[in-house]
Structure 1
Amino acid sequence: MIITIGGLAGTGTTTTAELLSEKLDIPFVSSGSIFRAMAEEKGMSVLEFSEFAESNDNIDKEIDKRQAELAKSSENLILEGRLSAYFVEADLKLWLMAPLDVRAQRISQRESKSVDVAKEEIKIREESEALRYLDIHNIDISNLDIYDLMINTDSFDPESITKIILTTLKVI
């Protein structure tokens, strides 16, 4: 079974992927961790690397390529990333969402920064990513038609989100 989990920063995609991976006993791969590792390799913050990636299409293409190759060579895998659903043939394509204030609060706690700083960085990063996705792949990230299931992660705790997904999988 191949599952993709997408969502904007702070929606809980990694937490959901980790829990789902444990419950289903299948591995997961995170594009965010790949992106953060690539930023660290370049000695940049995620924000700096995101801006750098605006003028370097190969960064996004490399992340997408790695995930697609992993999915093709795997029988069971969870792929977590904003664009994973566009490049992977999946049995279930999920999109997680949450209000900006909630996402900023989560990121501020995770990254030890103020909510205001987190909110501003989210806005800058999302504008940058939206432009890149449109330019590089002709993908409008705000169009959610590709997804099978969308969940507001502000409405449910991580365990409940996992239960919703597992219930959905029993129906498929």
Structure 2
Amino acid sequence: MRITISGLPGSGTTSLTYHLAEMHRLDVISAGEVFRQMARERGLTLAEFGSFCEEDPSVDKLIDERQREIALSNTHIIAEGRLSGWMIQEADLKIWLKASLECRVRRIFDRDQFSDLTAAMQATKEREACEALRYQQYYDIDIGSLSPYHLVLDTEMWTVEQLAIIVSSAIQTLQKSE
């Protein structure tokens, strides 16, 4: 089973990805983790690294190509990332996670240890605008379009455990139809 999990920053993609990976013994390739690691290696914030990527498209394309390559070489994997559902068209199940901006900013505030919510809100808005522009320029992708996804889940409504039950049901249904 090849699965993609996508969503805007703070929507819970990483949490659900690793929960499902453990439940179903699936490998994981995470574009966000690669992106954050590359930003840290350069001593840049996510917003600064995003701006750098705007100037040098090769970084984004390298991350996207590598994730696609790994996902296609493995039939038991979850590819987690904003564009995974767009880039890995061969996936058996493509999931988009959604949550309000306010909810996502609270999660980002906690995760990334911002000094205050206003700073987290500003950084999140800048990051999302930067990413949306890059995706449009590089791939002609409107990140707001949910057209490639089979399943859209509201992470404000469900806990990660409940989301995993919903997705597991979809996985089981797909496996029965194979």
Normalized against structure 1, the TM-score is what?
0.97
Contact kept, 8 Å, 1:4 with 1:80, in 2: the verdict is yes
**Alpha-carbon RMSD:** 0.8
The residue that corresponds to 2:136 in the other structure is 134
Note the C-alpha offset of 1:68: 0.9
Superposed CA offset, 1:67-101 (max 9, x none): 11101211210000000111211000000000011
| Distance in structure 2 (CA, Å) of the matches to 1:131 and 1:137 | 10
Answer yes or no: is 1:167 the counterpart of 2:169.
yes
Gaps of 5+ in 1: none
Identity %, equivalent residues: 41
Q: Does the 8 A contact of 2:29 with 2:71 survive in 1?
A: no
Alpha-carbon distance between aligned partners in 2 of 1:8 and 1:63, rounded to the nearest angstrom? 17
Residue in structure 2 matched with residue 17 of structure 1 by the alignment? 17
Which residue of 146, 149, 153 maps to 1:147?
A: 149
8 A Cα contact 1:7 1:81, kept in partner: yes
Contact 1:104 1:116 in 2 (8 A): no
Instruction: Name the residue aligned to 1:119.
Output: 121
Runs of at least 4 residues off by over 6 Å: none
- 1:100 is matched with 101
Deviates more, 1:127-136 or 1:39-48: 39-48
Residue type of the partner of 1:56?
D
The one-letter code sitting in structure 2 at the alignment partner of 1:98 is A
- For residues 90-135 of structure 1, give each alpha carbon's deviation from its aligned partner in whole angstroms, at most 9, with x where no partner exists: 0000000000110010111111222211111111100000000000
Structure 2 distance, partners of 1:72, 1:146, is 17
Quick check: 2:94–2:149 contact (8 Å CA) kept in 1? yes
8 A Cα contact 2:6 2:95, kept in partner: yes
Given residue 45 of structure 1, which amino acid in structure 2 is its aligned partner?
A: T
Farther off after superposition, 51-60 or 92-101: 51-60
Q: AA paired with 1:131?
A: L
Match of 2:43 in 1: 43
Give the secondary structure class of the aligned counterpart of 2:125: helix
Letter in 2 for 1:93: K
Alpha-carbon distance in 1 for matches of 2:33, 2:54: 18
SS of equivalent residue, structure 2 residue 145: coil
Deviation at 1:38, TM superposition (A): 1.0
Unaligned stretches of 5+ residues in structure 2:
none
Tell me, what secondary structure is at the counterpart of 1:78?
strand
Q: Which amino acid aligns with 2:84?
A: S
> What count of residue pairs does the alignment treat as equivalent?
172
